[in-house]
Chains A and B, each alone.
Chain A
Amino acid sequence: MVPLSWYIILSAVVFSIGVIGFLTRRNLIMTFMSIELMLNSVNISFVAFSHYLQSMRGQIIVFFVIAVAAAETAIGLAIIIAYYKNNPTIKVDEINLLKG
C-alpha cells in the first residue's frame, strides 16, 4: 500500500511549487496558473483523504473546487483582459499604480 502521507507530502510539495510560481513569475497568466496548480495540489490531498477515510466528502469537495476554479478562471481572465485594455501589460511588477 501507498501510505497516506506520501500523497499528502506530494500535495504539500506541489502546493509549494505553486506558491513559488505565484511569488516569482512576472507574467500574470503564469501567476494565475500557479494558483490553479495550488488548487490542484489541494485536490490531490482531498481525494487522497477521501480514499483513505472511505468517505465521499473529499471527492465532492474536489468537484466544487473544480467548479469554482472554472468560475474563477472566467472572472480572472476577464479582469486581466479588462486591465490589459487600459494598460497593455501583464507584467506583475508593472502593475503598481496603487501603492503606499
Chain B
Amino acid sequence: MEMETTISLLDIRPLVPELTMICVGLIVILLDLIVRKKEVVAIVGIAGTLVALYGTYKLYGFYEPQSAFSGMFVLDGYSNFFKLIFYLNIILTICISFKYMAIEKASFGEYYALLMFATTGMMIMASAADLIVLYLGLELMALSTYILAGITRKRQRSNEAALKYFFLGAFSSAFLLYGISLTYGLTGTTNLREIASALQTLDLNGSPIMYLGLIFMIVAFGFKIALAPFHMWAPDVYEGAPTSITAFMSVGPKAAGFAVLGRVLFGAFAGMQVQWASILIPMAVLTMAVGSIIALAQTNIKRMLAYSSIAHAGYMLLGVITGTTGGLMSTVNYLAIYLFMNIGAFAIVIMLRREGFQGENIEDYMGLSKSHPLASALMLIFMFSLAGIPPTAGFIGKFYVFMEVIKAGYVYLAIIAVAFSAISAFFYLRVVMYIYMKDPKEEVVLTRSPSMSIALAVTAMMVLILGIFPSFLLNLVRYSILG
C-alpha cells in the first residue's frame, strides 16, 4: 500500500499560514529580548496572525480541496474555516490578555509565542489528513497549552491546573495512540481516506477491534473537547489557569478537537456512523447534563463558565452525532458563535481582575450595573447568548443544531437538549441577577485597556449581529464545508 513519494517545494505552499505562525512565534521570542514594551510583542503577534489570516484567505480563495505532503495535509474549506476560528481566537485572546498578563506579571514574549504555537498545533489538527499528523498537531497544541495554563507559575492554582491538565492530557493521548495503533494494525494505514477505503474493502465496519480503536480515539478527542466523562480536567484547569488562557482554551482546543473529531468520524469512519453515533449520544446527553447541572452550584465564575463550556460541547456534539454534513455545519457554526460569546464573557471576567483582587467570585459582580452600566450590559448580552436566548447569536447556534438533530430524526435528543438548555439558563441568569439586582458590597473597579475595548466591541457586536443576521456566517459555513 505504501508507495514512494517525493516531496516538492510546492508542498509547502498550503502550509504557509502554519509556517507564518511559527515564524512569528519565533520572532516574538526574539523581540522579547530587545523591546521593553511588551505591547509591541503582542502587536507583532496580532500582526503575524493577520498575515497568516491573509495567507489562509488567499489560499482560501478557492474552495478546491488541496492536499500536500503525500496526502497528510489537506487544505479545504473545512480546515480553513477552523483556522479562521483559531485566528480570531488568538487575536481576541491577545487583545484581552494585554493588561491582564501584565497584572499577572507574565506578559513576556514566550507567552505570545506559545499562544502562536498552540494555534499552529490547532491549525495542523484542522488540516491533518493522517493520524500521525493529527497526533503531532494535537501534541503541539497540548504541550503549548499545558505550559500556558501554568505560565503564572507563582500562583499555586495555575501550577495545579497545568499539572492536572498535563497528566490527564498525557493519559488521554496514550489512549489516542492505542486507538491509532489498533486502527493502523487493522487497516494498515493511518491516512484517513485510506482508512475509509480499507474499512470498506476489508469489511471492518463490524469488527470489535476496530470499534475498540475508535472508542479509544473518541476518548482522546472527547478529552480535548471536554465531553463527559472525560471532562473532569476542565473545571479545575479552567479555574486555575490564567483567565485569558482559560478563554483561549475553552475555544481553541475545543474547536480543534471538534475539527479532528469531524475529520476522523466523517472522513475515516463514515461507514461506522451507527456505531459512533451510539457511543456519542449517551456522551452528549451526559455532557449536557453534567455541564448544566453542576454549573448550578458554582460560585466561581470561571468554574461556572467551565461547566457551561462543557455543556456547550454537548450541544455541539449533537451536530456531529447526526452524521450528516448539515449536522457538521451546525456544529461548526456553533463553534464560531461560541467563540464570540465565550471570549466576550471571559473578557468581562478579566476586567474585574486588578492588582490584589481576583474578581472571580460571582458575588464580586454584585451591583456592577450601578458603577459600570456598559460592561454590565455587555455581560448581559453574553450571558443571554450563552443561555441561547434570542436575539443573540447563541440562539442561532442552538437553533441550527436542533434543526439538524431533528432533521436527522433524533427528536428526543433535541428535547433533552432544550431541557438542559432551560436548566442552564438559570446559572447564566444568576450572573445577570448579581449584576443587576443586587446592591454592590464594595466599589468595583474595572481594569480597562484599548485592546480590551476592541475585543469587547467585536465580540458583542458579533453576538448581536449574528443573532439577527446570521446569514453571513451560515453561508460561510456552508461554502466552507460543502465547497
A–B contact via C-beta, under 8 angstroms: yes
Residues of A within 8 A of B (CB): 4, 8, 11, 15, 18, 22, 28, 31-32, 35, 38-39, 41-42, 45-46, 48-49, 52-53, 55-58, 60-61, 64-65, 68, 71-72, 75-76, 79-80, 82-83, 85-87, 95, 97-100
Q: Is the pair A75, B166 in contact by a Cβ cutoff of 8 Å?
A: yes
Q: Is the pair B150, A98 in contact by a Cβ cutoff of 8 Å?
A: no
Which residue of the partner chain, among A39, A79, A83, contacts B146 with CB atoms under 8 Å?
A79
Which residues from B are CB-within-8-Å of A45? 178, 181-182, 185
- Listed from nearest, the 6 A-B pairs whose CB atoms lie closest are A98-B236, A38-B174, A49-B185, A83-B159, A42-B177, A82-B153
Which residues from B are CB-within-8-Å of A8? 185
Give the A-B pair count, Cβ closer than 8 A: 125
- Which residues of B from 161 to 208 have beta carbons under 8 Å from A? 161-164, 166-167, 170-171, 174, 177-178, 180-182, 184-185, 188-190
Q: Is the pair A32, B156 in contact by a Cβ cutoff of 8 Å?
A: no
Q: Is the pair B132, A82 in contact by a Cβ cutoff of 8 Å?
A: no
Q: Is the pair B190, A57 in contact by a Cβ cutoff of 8 Å?
A: yes
Q: Is the pair A64, B184 in contact by a Cβ cutoff of 8 Å?
A: no
Q: Is the pair B171, A98 in contact by a Cβ cutoff of 8 Å?
A: no
Residue of B143, B170, B184 with most partner-chain A CB within 10 A? B170
Q: Is the pair A86, B184 in contact by a Cβ cutoff of 8 Å?
A: no
Q: How far is the CA of A4 from the CA of B188 in the complex (A)?
A: 14
Q: Tell me the minimal C-beta distance from B124 to chain A in angstroms.
A: 13
Which residues from B are CB-within-8-Å of A72? 139, 143, 170
Q: Is the pair B150, A39 in contact by a Cβ cutoff of 8 Å?
A: no
Q: How far is the CA of A97 from the CA of B237 in the complex (A)?
A: 11
- Which residues of B from 197 to 253 have beta carbons under 8 Å from A? 235-237, 239-240
Q: Is the pair A55, B163 in contact by a Cβ cutoff of 8 Å?
A: no
Q: Is the pair B139, A57 in contact by a Cβ cutoff of 8 Å?
A: no
Q: Is the pair B159, A86 in contact by a Cβ cutoff of 8 Å?
A: yes
Which residues from A are CB-within-8-Å of B171? 22, 35, 38
Which residues from A are CB-within-8-Å of B136? 64, 68
Residue of A11, A58, A79, A80 with most partner-chain B CB within 10 A? A79
Which residues from B are CB-within-8-Å of A46? 181, 184
Q: How far is the CA of A42 from the CA of B179 in the complex (A)?
A: 9
A-B pairs with beta carbons under 8 Å apart, 11 shown: A41-B178, A42-B181, A45-B182, A64-B132, A68-B139, A75-B147, A82-B150, A85-B153, A86-B155, A97-B156, A98-B240
The closest CB in chain B to the CB of A65 belongs to B177
What's the dominant secondary structure at chain B's contact region?
helix
Q: How far is the CA of A86 from the CA of B163 in the complex (A)?
A: 13
Q: How far is the CA of A60 from the CA of B174 in the complex (A)?
A: 17
Q: Is the pair B170, A86 in contact by a Cβ cutoff of 8 Å?
A: no
Instruction: Take A42-B174, A49-B185, A61-B180 as given contacts and tell me if A82 and B164 are in contact as well, using a CB distance cutoff of 8 Å.
Output: no
The closest CB in chain B to the CB of A86 belongs to B156
Q: How far is the CA of A60 from the CA of B189 in the complex (A)?
A: 12
Q: Tell me the minimal C-beta distance from A39 to chain B in angstroms.
A: 6
Which residue of the partner chain, among A35, A65, A80, A86, contacts B154 with CB atoms under 8 Å?
A86
- Which residues of B from 271 to 303 have beta carbons under 8 Å from A? 297-298, 303
Which residues from A are CB-within-8-Å of B303? 100
Q: Is the pair A98, B154 in contact by a Cβ cutoff of 8 Å?
A: no
Q: Is the pair B160, A97 in contact by a Cβ cutoff of 8 Å?
A: yes
Q: How far is the CA of A35 from the CA of B185 in the complex (A)?
A: 22
Instruction: Take A46-B181, A49-B181 as given contacts and tell me if A76 and B170 are in contact as well, using a CB distance cutoff of 8 Å.
Output: yes
Residue of A28, A87, A97 with most partner-chain B CB within 10 A? A97
Q: Tell me the minimal C-beta distance from A40 to chain B in angstroms.
A: 10
**B370 interfacial by beta-carbon distance below 8 Å:** no
Which residues from A are CB-within-8-Å of B188? 53, 55
Instruction: Take A75-B147, A86-B159 as given contacts and tell me if A64 and B153 are in contact as well, using a CB distance cutoff of 8 Å.
Output: no
Which residues from B are CB-within-8-Å of A75? 143, 146-147, 166
Instruction: Take A42-B177, A45-B181 as given contacts and tell me if A61 and B190 are in contact as well, using a CB distance cutoff of 8 Å.
Output: yes
Q: Is the pair A97, B157 in contact by a Cβ cutoff of 8 Å?
A: yes
**B334 interfacial by beta-carbon distance below 8 Å:** no
Q: How far is the CA of A75 from the CA of B100 in the complex (A)?
A: 24
Q: Is the pair A98, B184 in contact by a Cβ cutoff of 8 Å?
A: no
Which residues from A are CB-within-8-Å of B180? 61
Q: How far is the CA of A76 from the CA of B360 in the complex (A)?
A: 28
**B98 interfacial by beta-carbon distance below 8 Å:** no
Q: Is the pair A35, B163 in contact by a Cβ cutoff of 8 Å?
A: no
Which residues from A are CB-within-8-Å of B154? 86
Q: How far is the CA of A22 from the CA of B166 in the complex (A)?
A: 13
The closest CB in chain B to the CB of A83 belongs to B159
**B2 interfacial by beta-carbon distance below 8 Å:** yes
**B135 interfacial by beta-carbon distance below 8 Å:** yes
Q: Is the pair A95, B170 in contact by a Cβ cutoff of 8 Å?
A: no
Q: Is the pair B156, A53 in contact by a Cβ cutoff of 8 Å?
A: no
